[in-house]
Chains A and B, each alone.
Chain A
Amino acid sequence: MALMNFLKPKNKLEEGGRTEAPVQQDEGEPEKNCPNCHRDIPLSRLWANNLVCPCGYHFRMKARQRIKMTADKGSFNELYGEMISDNPLNFPGYKDKVETVRVASGEKEAVVCGTAKIGGQSCCIFVMESYFMMGSMGSAVGEKIASLFEYAARCRLPVVGFTVSGGARMQEGLLSLMQMAKTSAAVKRHSDAGLLYIAVLTDPTTGGVTASFAMEADIILAEPGATIGFAGARVIEQTTKKTLPKGFQKAEFVMEHGFVDDIVPRGNQKKILTELLKIHNGG
């Protein structure tokens, strides 16, 4: 990335007719191109701002970075970290794919679960991992999430969950589909115990995860610009032969249609989550 940028003209921004001021940077510092404002932003600056571009674009974030951003320092204790999916259908190529993804992502599965404190408030937390098969839900993801809700119900803790998913993991066939029912039933038991569940939908939250625990929270928040939907936009276009409306399936569009409580930029999330946890904890 950085090397490539040496070859680009320095006045790329002006060339593009943009009026924003060029972003200050040291020569040769690694940078990332923003798909929204098309500027090259130094990585150090992005990191300092929780991977949010100065234009407001939210880059995808790894699960553990998000935990670090959200949980109080040193408060996260991982649960079910050793649980992985098997290859129950002997699906062609699945085993190799998972092995490759495991090495590349540094994660064993597409969700990280545990207990944590957010602004001093104890909770259970799950964060899905977009870098692991786009957060797809197979047996292990379903098992970890169902187990977490059961644990939270036993310990009378609220659950805060960050979703990102392409949907059910097709390589585990029907077993993946059944995770939607399994997680939903666990969410219901936790809810019937009078406990709070807050979901934060991040880009993208689609398919079987939207059609299960992402949409089952007491309070549903979303990150700005996140794609949130059931069917993929391309499939809808092909099926209906219609042009999709502007902003279709974006968080703002989904909120306008009544399916999200509020859109919360990353920088405000910890504050909002803390306050919501406090309010529901009698404080």
Chain B
Amino acid sequence: MSQIPYDRVKLARDNARPTGLDYINNIFNGFMEMHGDRRFSDDPAIVGGIARLNDTPVTVIAIEKGHTAKERSHRNFGMPNPEGYRKALRLMKQAEKFGRPVICFIDTAGAYCGIGAEERGQGQAIAENLVEMSTLCIPVISILIGEGGSGGALALAVADRVWMLQNSVYSVISPEGCASILWKDAAKAEDAAASLKLTAEDAKSLGIIERILSENDIGKKEFYDRIRSLLVKELGGLSNDPDLVGKRYDRFRRMGVNAVVKE
């Protein structure tokens, strides 16, 4: 286990880690990819479609970084454009219509910072996902498998359960971004990583996630088998919950630490 939080950031970004499609292909059967947001284009940074979890039909969505240099460039290094988030929402709405649970795999430095992304409403696309996911009438489980970069990650994580891989990170801003804004020095990223409390253990103790997944056998068959069993078990419980949406509301509603001043 790593000593400092910034080491976790490096591990979370490691090119050798399994990517979204590895999880989809190893956990589910017969994945059929569905493309496009029906509005503008198909964003290769987000893949989504229908598959079976054992025998149960599910909708799966993953942010995909790619492995080779060519793949990574094609996937825009896992930084989605608005149409990626809109595709994800389209597939989630479809899942709701047909009563399928949704499983999301998240791995992004953040939503793409581009001219076109702004022109096509990056902020609006993320906002719409947050709004619509809050009332989806089907179970949603989101798993952070690498980087969980800010709003671009949260846009797929308004879920009933959020799990993190042991060496994934989840943060409001990258440590480099934080260091350069607060201390005008991106080299202080190590300090920022420690201050931001972005490790899986931090997220769990802050009540942001429910479960940390061990990486001891990452990429091996047992690793994917274990995640599959956990998903099956968890979805079994969630699918029978008549107050699923109410509990999802409460899950996020209680997050935050406030004080009251009397003067």
Report which of B118, B131, B206 forms a contact with A229, defined as CB distance below 8 A. Answer: B118
Task: Name the interface residues of A188-203: CB closer than 8 Å to any CB of B.
Answer: 188-189, 191-192
Residues of chain B with a CB closer than 8 A to A259's CB: 121, 124
Known: A174-B208, A181-B130, A182-B252. A258 touches B257 (CB 8 A): no
Q: Cβ of B172 and Cβ of A235 under 8 Å apart?
A: no
Q: Cβ of B182 and Cβ of A84 under 8 Å apart?
A: no
Residues of chain A with a CB closer than 8 A to B151's CB: 168, 177, 180, 207-208, 211-212, 230
| Interface locus among A43-51, A88-96, A113-121 | A88-96
* Bound Cα distance from A244 to B117, whole angstroms: 12
Task: Name the interface residues of B174-204: CB closer than 8 Å to any CB of A.
Answer: 177-178, 181-182, 191, 195-198, 202-203
- Chain B nearest CB, measured from A180 CB (Å): 6
* Bound Cα distance from A185 to B248, whole angstroms: 9
* Bound Cα distance from A155 to B119, whole angstroms: 37
| Interface locus among A24-32, A139-147, A262-270 | A139-147
Is there a chain B Cβ closer than 8 Å to A67's Cβ?
no
Q: Cβ of B134 and Cβ of A181 under 8 Å apart?
A: yes
0 or 1 for each of B117-135: is its CB under 8 Å from A? (1 = yes) = 1111111101110111011
Nearest neighbor of A191 in chain B, beta-carbon distance: B131
* Bound Cα distance from A180 to B258, whole angstroms: 16
Q: Cβ of A139 and Cβ of B130 under 8 Å apart?
A: no
Is there a chain A Cβ closer than 8 Å to B38's Cβ?
no
Is there a chain B Cβ closer than 8 Å to A275's Cβ?
no
Residues of chain A with a CB closer than 8 A to B113's CB: 230-232, 235-236, 239-240
* Bound Cα distance from A102 to B191, whole angstroms: 26
What is the size, in residues, of chain B's interface with A at 8 Å between Cβ atoms?
A: 56
- Chain A nearest CB, measured from B217 CB (Å): 27
Q: Cβ of A179 and Cβ of B256 under 8 Å apart?
A: yes
Is there a chain B Cβ closer than 8 Å to A2's Cβ?
no
Q: Cβ of A82 and Cβ of B262 under 8 Å apart?
A: yes
Q: Cβ of A211 and Cβ of B127 under 8 Å apart?
A: yes
Known: A85-B257, A168-B150. A173 touches B114 (CB 8 A): no
Report which of A178, A187, A192 forms a contact with B256, defined as CB distance below 8 A. Answer: A178
Q: Cβ of A175 and Cβ of B131 under 8 Å apart?
A: no
Contact residues of A: prevailing secondary structure: helix
Residues of chain A with a CB closer than 8 A to B145's CB: none
Residues of chain A with a CB closer than 8 A to B208's CB: 174-175, 178
Name the residue in B128, B197, B255 with the highest tally of chain A Cβ atoms < 10 Å from its Cβ: B255
* Bound Cα distance from A79 to B126, whole angstroms: 29
Is there a chain B Cβ closer than 8 Å to A272's Cβ?
no
- Chain A nearest CB, measured from B232 CB (Å): 26
Q: Cβ of A108 and Cβ of B150 under 8 Å apart?
A: no
Nearest neighbor of A178 in chain B, beta-carbon distance: B255
Is there a chain B Cβ closer than 8 Å to A131's Cβ?
no
Is there a chain A Cβ closer than 8 Å to B31's Cβ?
no
* Bound Cα distance from A2 to B27, whole angstroms: 69
Q: Cβ of B120 and Cβ of A170 under 8 Å apart?
A: no
Q: Cβ of A84 and Cβ of B130 under 8 Å apart?
A: no
* Bound Cα distance from A113 to B124, whole angstroms: 23
- Chain B nearest CB, measured from A204 CB (Å): 12
Q: Cβ of B172 and Cβ of A215 under 8 Å apart?
A: no
28 CB-based A-B contacts, threshold 8 Å: A83-B258, A84-B261, A86-B257, A89-B196, A91-B195, A168-B150, A170-B172, A173-B202, A174-B171, A174-B172, A174-B196, A177-B151, A177-B171, A182-B255, A184-B131, A185-B134, A188-B134, A192-B135, A207-B123, A207-B151, A210-B123, A211-B126, A212-B151, A215-B123, A215-B124, A230-B117, A240-B114, A248-B118
